[in-house]
Amino acid sequence: MASPSASSSTSRVSVLVIYTGGTLGMVYERKTGQLIPFNFERVLDQVPELHRLDFDMTLITLRDIIDSSNMKPANWIELAQIIRKNYDQFDSFVILHGTDTMAYTASALSFMLVNLAKPVILTGAQLPIGVARSDARENFITALEIAAATRDGKPIVPEVCVYFNSQLLRGSRAKKQESVHFNAFHSENYPRLALAGVQIEYNTPYIMSGPVGGPFSIRTQLDANVTILKLFPGITQPVVEAILGIPDLKGVVLETFGAGNAPTYSWFLEALKNASDRGIVLFNVSQCEGGRVTQGQYQTSKLLQQIGVVSGADMTTEAAITKLMVVLGENVPETGDDDRIESRRQQQARLDRIRQQLATPFSGEMSL
């Protein structure tokens, strides 16, 4: 990874661009017709309009350029560390990312970057930058403009966001909805933060105002011993018990029906209770893209509440699973009285703390 250096200019905004891989940085190989990565350090050859932007831009790449389908927590940690290392040298950050897991990365970073006071904008493309009809140029250029935008000397959007197809979305609210159209991302349960047309119109009341206090820091302890259990009519006892019986499993995101409802089969509720009693944290989100989990509204969800399942309110699955990783990673088991195992009292206190943190907004990812 190249080591960036900020511009010596004191009057111009400086933006650090971090390239991770993805369709945006691909070109077609003439002989085979296959998509191959191009040397992204020569991005100015593909997007000459960047010369006309009125701010300084520095480009670096991840240690290993990857397809976003291969994105994992270690990559999120690397991104967070890059931002921390360069936080004082740059005014904002743009991350170029493949679309398939962009919402996961945006959600993860929104929880990992603590007391963030600068824009972190993720963007990408549905078509490679070398294609005539590519959406890459507009997405890249406008993401840069939003990252560099200030009002009264302060950044307009001091939070983690996804910019795509003229829309700026909160990172922890974004979800990929399209694989073939340019409007790839949406935010069903929270308004867009900006709309780019002839002018960029900011939806200021819905944008975070920045941290109240405390220095910028990062969370880097993530626990990936989690999974997603999507319910469906006819789900069987062996399937549920096999998933909940995964060795070293720490947490499960339950994708339930409607407003957070699940089957009331005795075997199903018993399987969840046994998992909860073993210290597995259960986090409830709806399979519906719009609306929210309201545990207790119906008898089916009230039973989940009694078991200790945490309501994810109106969170996306992407936000729920990444928040679960972060919260579990920040709350590792304590040593018990014999200095070898966690006591029952310590375990219960830790699980209560985890459940409380999951139910508390970190970065605007949920509405209470």
Active site residue 23: yes
CATH number for domain 226-358, candidates 3.40.50.40, 3.40.50.300, 1.25.40.10, 3.40.190.10: 3.40.50.40
Over 70: is that where the pLDDT of 340 sits? Answer: no
CATH number for region 14-218: 3.40.50.1170
Residue 44 pLDDT: 66
Binding residue ranges for substrate: 68, 99-100
Residue 3 pLDDT: 40
pLDDT tens per residue, range 158-185:
999 999 999 999 999 999 999 989 999 9
Going 235 to 239 to 244 to 249, the CA torsion angle's sign is negative
Over 90: is that where the pLDDT of 5 sits? Answer: no
What six digits make up the tokens of 281?
Answer: 């944290």
pLDDT tens per residue, range 183-194:
999 999 999 999
Over 70: is that where the pLDDT of 368 sits? Answer: yes
Mean pLDDT of 278-300: 92
Q: Give CATH 3.40.50.1170 domain extents, the chain.
A: 14-218
Provide the pairing of β-strand 200-202 with 154-155. Answer: unpaired
pLDDT tens per residue, range 223-233:
999 999 999 99
Over 80: is that where the pLDDT of 294 sits? Answer: yes
pLDDT tens per residue, range 319-329:
999 999 999 99
Mean pLDDT of 216-221: 98
Dist. CA 164–CA 143, nearest whole Å: 8
Mean pLDDT of 142-153: 96
Residue 301 pLDDT: 82
Q: Give CATH 3.40.50.40 domain extents, the chain.
A: 226-358
* H-helix segments, 149-277: 237-244, 266-277
Mean pLDDT of 123-130: 87
Binding residue ranges: 68, 99-100
* Active-site entry in 23, 105, 142, 322: 23
